[in-house]
Structure 1
Amino acid sequence: MQISRRNFLLSGSLALAGTALMPRSLSAMAKAKDVLSIQLYSVRADMKQDPLGTLKKVAEMGYKNVEHANYINRKFYGWTAQEFKKVLADLGLSMPSGHTVMGKQHWDADKKDFTDAWKYTVEDAAVLGQKFVISPWLDESLRQNIDDFLRYMEVFNKSGELCKKSGMKFGYHNHDFEFSQQLNGQKVFDLILQNTDPTLVAQQLDIGNMYHAGGIALDIIKKYPNRFELMHVKDEIKTAGKGEMGGHGGGYESTVLGKGIIPIKEIIEIGKKSGGTKYFVIEQESYQGISPLDCIQQDYAVMKKYGFK
């Protein structure tokens, strides 16, 4: 349930008075907890072969939250929204966020409205209890010139308005091109942050993807405080191939947390302290010969050492 700004302000003085009388332990419990999830793209092959069995293993590892990366024809990994909600609930899992690309085909410029396909996406996300509907890509056709780009940032904001009606927030997840491509002398990433309403559009900062194009997560969080409600926690190592980002940056691929060159713990701490980050999502896309399930189990163990549960 969302609380309006007006009601929040009206109840503010009472809340402060109550906090003063509240025992310290209860006051601490009242604070919002950090949420740890696993991006299911990390185990995409396993999810394709045996989605239920894979989700059971994920839950057995200790994960309590997942983030999807598969929504096709109104189904999540082959289940309807209601079915998938039950599957997750039966395993003790929740899904605060999910990835579905919002593209050109989802906005009718003549009608100035979203197509049914995107409305269904938001509707189904709400059924599952998501807090964030994250688009993890911005098509090249939408970033060819500054005018088209800025028009689509307005669509981002309108998607935020649509999601808000269902008690959710729209979000965007970066790759590497946002840091290598410029429009009118400005990086695409800066333009996204400067032209989206933070009350409507959340940013999910992928701390590994940006490295491929020279982006430094610590610097980005310092530059844009309180803009990153979500974070993809990822580590990177040098590789002989083109890397996960193909021709964009190349030379790097993800690895088990703590085995690469990203200062993960430091980034997490600054994210908590000044980035506004509460939702931390583990993602690993390359495995160096280890099974994906073993990798995410090791990733979880590292995050537990950092204080996550």
Structure 2
Amino acid sequence: MSFSRIAFTVTAFFLTTSALTHAEEGKFTASPGLQLYSLRSQFKLKGVSRTLDTVKSFGIQLVELAGTHEMPIPEFKKELESRGLKAVSAHYPYKRWQTEPDAVAQEAKELGLEYAGCAWADHKSPMDEAQAREIAATFNQAGAALAKVGIKFFYHLHGFEYQPWKKGETLADLIIQETNPEQVKFQMDTLWVVFPGQDPVKLLEKYPNRWDLMHLKDLKQGVATGSLSGQTDVNNDVTLGTGQMNWAAILATAQKVGVKYYFIEDESSSSESQIPKSVKFLQSIRW
């Protein structure tokens, strides 16, 4: 074989190998949003306008709401729109979903939301099967009310729902299985899966058509897991990529099963400084 032939073969081999490596490499392709509860202290101290300026400075375009901070909905929408921010979803109290789901649906419609949900189901600890079934019924009612105005309901599991149920399943399984899959979706908060000792990848794969939204939240190294309290020190929220989460596996699986929206949520006292670092991490992660 001539030298030129050998050189051509070697070059072709390395080009092919490079192309395969590039094709197999995965990355986070979504545009991460922010759950505005992360900046609740800033909203109180600085007000809506200055805090939303901060959100814009992070390079964030999508947001999830936790109220409008005592501002009328039309005014709050203008504040968002003037900064190129789009509200995709919002959390509302469980009691309102129980007592006035149609009123909540109208507020969500006025805000122009795609999703409206609940971040905490009121319950007596520990949650039992009867409570889980009551919660599922409330969510079905909420989903039906929102469907009338073209919005989907979602529930943000918070950790206490992983009480054992039957045959190796938990009350979280019961709630998911007893709710209407077309009208009731779920939001996975990665911290509130790992902290109670569950596996985000397995849950994503078990219910691939139910997880429409995700909270990206990392748990501080060294914090013990296995608690079903649904509570931990807010300063256990750390910059993405510095905690206990296997982000490559979680994000690869989330993208595979079709999670639509991802929101960074950082409840710590250092959220304003940590959020930009988390954004950079999501831009750089590869698998």
TM-score range relative to shorter protein: 0.7 to 0.9
Does the C-alpha gap of structure 1 residues 87 and 249 become closer, same or farther in structure 2, counting only changes over 3 Å?
closer
Give the share of equivalent positions with the same residue, in percent. Answer: 29
Map of 1:20 onto structure 2: none
Amino acid at match of 2:69: Y
Alignment of 1:166-205 (within 5 A): 166-179=149-162, 181-183=163-165, 186-205=169-188
Q: Which has the higher contact order (CA 8 A, sep 6+)?
A: 2
1:235 to 210, 218, 224: 218
Rounded Cα–Cα distance in structure 1 between residues aligned with 2:155 and 2:31: 18
Map of 2:146 onto structure 1: 163
How far residue 37 of structure 1 moved from its aligned partner, in angstroms, is 1.0
Tell me if structure 2 keeps the 8 A contact 1:40–1:47.
Answer: no
Map of 1:301 onto structure 2: 280
Tell me if structure 1 keeps the 8 A contact 2:35–2:263.
Answer: yes
How far residue 56 of structure 1 moved from its aligned partner, in angstroms, is 0.7
Map of 1:88 onto structure 2: 80
Amino acid at match of 2:272: L
**Secondary structure of residue in 2 paired with 1:59:** helix
**Secondary structure of residue in 2 paired with 1:46:** helix
Map of 1:279 onto structure 2: 261
Map of 2:132 onto structure 1: 149
Map of 1:60 onto structure 2: 57
How far residue 306 of structure 1 moved from its aligned partner, in angstroms, is 4.3
Does the C-alpha gap of structure 1 residues 35 and 197 become closer, same or farther in structure 2, counting only changes over 3 Å?
farther
Determine which structure has more spread, i.e. the larger CA radius of gyration.
2
Tell me if structure 1 keeps the 8 A contact 2:153–2:183.
Answer: yes
Q: What is the root-mean-square deviation of aligned Cα atoms in Å?
A: 2.6
Rounded Cα–Cα distance in structure 2 between residues aligned with 1:293 and 1:231: 20
Gaps of at least 5 residues in structure 2 are 1-28
Amino acid at match of 1:84: F
Rounded Cα–Cα distance in structure 1 between residues aligned with 2:108 and 2:197: 33
Does the C-alpha gap of structure 1 residues 131 and 35 become closer, same or farther in structure 2, counting only changes over 3 Å?
farther
Tell me if structure 2 keeps the 8 A contact 1:81–1:125.
Answer: no
Map of 1:47 onto structure 2: 43
The TM-score normalised by the length of structure 2 is: 0.80
Kindly indicate whether residue 244 of structure 2 is the aligned counterpart of residue 261 of structure 1.
yes
Amino acid at match of 1:48: K
Tell me if structure 1 keeps the 8 A contact 2:143–2:184.
Answer: yes
Does the C-alpha gap of structure 1 residues 248 and 272 become closer, same or farther in structure 2, counting only changes over 3 Å?
closer
How far residue 119 of structure 1 moved from its aligned partner, in angstroms, is 2.8
**Secondary structure of residue in 2 paired with 1:140:** coil
Rounded Cα–Cα distance in structure 1 between residues aligned with 2:127 and 2:237: 29
Rounded Cα–Cα distance in structure 2 between residues aligned with 1:189 and 1:47: 33
Does the C-alpha gap of structure 1 residues 144 and 282 become closer, same or farther in structure 2, counting only changes over 3 Å?
closer
The TM-score normalised by the length of structure 1 is: 0.74
Q: How many equivalent residue pairs?
A: 254
How far residue 35 of structure 1 moved from its aligned partner, in angstroms, is 4.6
**Secondary structure of residue in 1 paired with 2:63:** strand
Does the C-alpha gap of structure 1 residues 235 and 132 become closer, same or farther in structure 2, counting only changes over 3 Å?
same
Does the C-alpha gap of structure 1 residues 35 and 161 become closer, same or farther in structure 2, counting only changes over 3 Å?
farther
Rounded Cα–Cα distance in structure 1 between residues aligned with 2:139 and 2:116: 11
Map of 1:206 onto structure 2: 189
Tell me if structure 1 keeps the 8 A contact 2:132–2:175.
Answer: no
1:114-154 alpha-carbon deviations (Å, 9 max, x no partner)? 43xx4332211111111111100111149854344324312
